[in-house]
Structure 1
């Protein structure tokens, strides 16, 4: 069995690598995602080899591997983990074709039922679905004795409990987070968010507004709203280190008035680089680190560039650019658009739909012209839907209220007595 493992698994890693090569997340962070994939797959194989040795064939199940990988990545990757697991154990169980088909059905059922699970309690759903399908397959396909049904149930239950116990640690080690882990991370009592709220309350409020904008846009084009909401909370955590250099935290005095534009641009860059350092230190999800460094792309800080030109300084435009890179996936581009639209609304004296749409159109045109949206894979239709969703959200957050009439205090006092 050991020789089989040593020969077979490396070849399957190469096959899976070929099949998964189009997954953009694996291209962005191959070490994190491959390490997560292989770690979960190996843990699941070891556990099932142990079950097969000391119990029986019905105890072998792909639940732990498939559900964990589907939660941490996506359905397609979960399906590929099913293939690897099924091919491996189809030879160990005997009757390779029979075992392959049976394990594939159980694995695909588990992966499908694991999509869009946002709480630990709901992990019971793929466990129950996979257990029922496994029992039916073994009863019909293998003429399984009814006495073996408890073995199937107990084995699957143990794997579900193993999943629940190890998922937070797997996420922390690999920095590849499930939606469940992201929701737990989005707790506003997180040390970084508490520090942001205390040191840079204006930025903290700005982040909450951005979270609403990106969530509505994400739902409009069917990307990951949880990643975007939580990413919006953390995208400006670098500002907590020098909060007074950012307008939303200033109370009259602007320290940029006392320094040259080049130094101002460098200080603004620090909120990106320091934010990235904090993300690594606190082991935030690797995609949230991407959102931190990509939400400004490589845009020029126009205010300071213009100020430098007025002072007749001869610095090249590159000095005033954010470090980037430009957004590499849809969620990062959505955050960039939302960050700029929120800034637009703060500069508008009166917020109305027509004016906001014109400003948003000009912003998106600028982002196109600057090449900021070249690598994110957003279509023109999706960009238009993002804009519409954000405009609607801004209008809903800034709607006018009815003016309440004045009522004499004496009358109110009499009413309250009654």
Structure 2
């Protein structure tokens, strides 16, 4: 169904293209153009893009994050070609946005498709395709680690330089004015990208690292509300964010997603925060209710967190992290209590709703979450004890099948464990005790 919709969209785009550029719609052009371009699209777009796991997890969001900037840039440059100059056509906008939103390889594919579209349109001009694609490749390569808006200027510089060199080498150069048009067009594309990137993020719920960092500002209303209603949970989330970020770094994962996802993973605890141990001061309210009801209340922090994520249009991957950070684990304390009271063996009513983690950062969050809870229960913290307990904890997660779908390798899990131990020991180092000095002496 999705494949057919995409083909139909490209056919309509071809109709609009011919009408705008040539002031006509002819059967011969449509047949020849669509035959060549759609075959190219099927072999490149439809074959390569679904290999990205995120297109399988959230096809609607990620196809929208890919096609919306691509279509926008193609239509924009059709007007640019008709009313400005052929040298003003720039692939920067869509390539840059898609690289920032998804990843480098997907941005590269978008640049290739954009270049092919205009190359086929202008009589299967291979030189013109190269003129457009090489700068797109440079943009994708130079923007893949962009974390600040000002850094978007760097791809503009390298793309413009590449495009000018390519134009000269393949004899597309005509006058010095053409070079100036290339620079101006690319610069305007960068400015437009800065302005419309938040729109695409909000529309698709696929966020760039720039957007994630802005979202992770601790003055965010959701985080402020969490700090006021559930301060223990807020502090717990801050600790986990440090563990998750350093763990993601050691395996070359998305550090920003790991940190910001940790901030928001427990936002559902603003509803009845007193039922969670980190927010309890005196009496435990679970003592007055049944084990089954306790299980339902704990489940609710996941389901309510998902509701808040949808309501505030948080990134779709952060919504996933909220849903997946407990996986489908059994709440062993309440299950044991229920079993001792009834003798009934039924773990299903004591499981979190899940699903189990579907990507590495979600699995890292799960490991860090249970580790932090374990550390809080330890009386004396030592690296040896922590290593042993963390081994048991991770083995338990493997045995329960919680890490089956996340993509982590055993080597990566070993690296994550080592980094967690190191980070916790650094965070919990003991300070020296200072000798008591009389206040009178200090004043002198």
| Paired residue secondary structure (1:196) | helix
Q: Does structure 2 conserve the Cα–Cα contact (< 8 Å) formed by 1:58 and 1:138? A: no
Residue 299 of structure 1 and its aligned partner are, at CA, apart by: 0.3
Residue 17 of structure 1 and its aligned partner are, at CA, apart by: 2.0
Distance across 1 between alignment mates of 2:434 and 2:204: 55
Q: Is structure 2 residue 169 aligned with structure 1 residue 140? A: yes
Residue 312 of structure 1 and its aligned partner are, at CA, apart by: 2.2
Match of 2:106 in 1: 77
Match of 1:127 in 2: 156
Count of residues in Structure 1 that have an aligned counterpart in Structure 2 = 414
Deviations 1:324-377 (A, max 9, x none): 000011111000000010011000001100000001000001001100010011
Q: Is structure 2 residue 302 aligned with structure 1 residue 278? A: no
CA RMSD of the aligned region, Å?
Answer: 1.4
Distance across 2 between alignment mates of 1:21 and 1:374: 20
Residue 315 of structure 1 and its aligned partner are, at CA, apart by: 5.7
Match of 2:402 in 1: 372
Match of 1:96 in 2: 125
| Paired residue secondary structure (1:144) | coil
Match of 1:298 in 2: 328
Distance across 1 between alignment mates of 2:281 and 2:416: 33
Match of 1:107 in 2: 136
Residue 14 of structure 1 and its aligned partner are, at CA, apart by: 3.6
Distance across 2 between alignment mates of 1:148 and 1:104: 18
Q: Is structure 2 residue 369 aligned with structure 1 residue 339? A: yes
Distance across 1 between alignment mates of 2:288 and 2:167: 77
Q: Is structure 2 residue 229 aligned with structure 1 residue 177? A: no
Deviations 1:69-118 (A, max 9, x none): 00000011001101110110112334521112221211101110111100
Q: Is structure 2 residue 97 aligned with structure 1 residue 68? A: yes
Match of 1:86 in 2: 115
Match of 2:276 in 1: 246
| Paired residue secondary structure (2:51) | coil
Unaligned runs of 5+ in 2: 1-17, 20-24
Find 1:46's aligned residue among 72, 75, 78.
75
Match of 2:338 in 1: 308
Distance across 2 between alignment mates of 1:337 and 1:307: 25
Residue 143 of structure 1 and its aligned partner are, at CA, apart by: 2.9
Unaligned runs of 5+ in 1: none
Distance across 2 between alignment mates of 1:228 and 1:323: 21
| Paired residue secondary structure (2:431) | coil
Distance across 1 between alignment mates of 2:188 and 2:442: 64
Q: Is structure 2 residue 388 aligned with structure 1 residue 358? A: yes
Within a 5 Å distance, the mapping from 1:135-174 to structure 2 comes to: 135-141=164-170, 142-174=172-204
- Are residues 10 and 259 of structure 1, via their aligned partners in 2, closer, same or farther at CA, if it must alter by over 3 Å? farther
Match of 2:258 in 1: 228
TM-score w.r.t. length of structure 1: 0.97
Distance across 2 between alignment mates of 1:157 and 1:303: 60
Distance across 1 between alignment mates of 2:79 and 2:183: 17
Distance across 1 between alignment mates of 2:41 and 2:285: 55
Within a 5 Å distance, the mapping from 1:9-20 to structure 2 comes to: 13-15=41-43, 16-20=45-49
Within a 5 Å distance, the mapping from 1:314-325 to structure 2 comes to: 314=344, 316-325=346-355
Match of 1:7 in 2: 34
Q: Does structure 2 conserve the Cα–Cα contact (< 8 Å) formed by 1:57 and 1:93? A: no
Distance across 2 between alignment mates of 1:144 and 1:264: 75
Distance across 2 between alignment mates of 1:201 and 1:43: 44
Distance across 1 between alignment mates of 2:121 and 2:88: 13
Q: Is structure 2 residue 289 aligned with structure 1 residue 259? A: yes
Q: Does structure 2 conserve the Cα–Cα contact (< 8 Å) formed by 1:139 and 1:145? A: no
Match of 1:409 in 2: 439
TM-score w.r.t. length of structure 2: 0.91
Residue 10 of structure 1 and its aligned partner are, at CA, apart by: 5.5
Distance across 1 between alignment mates of 2:397 and 2:79: 55
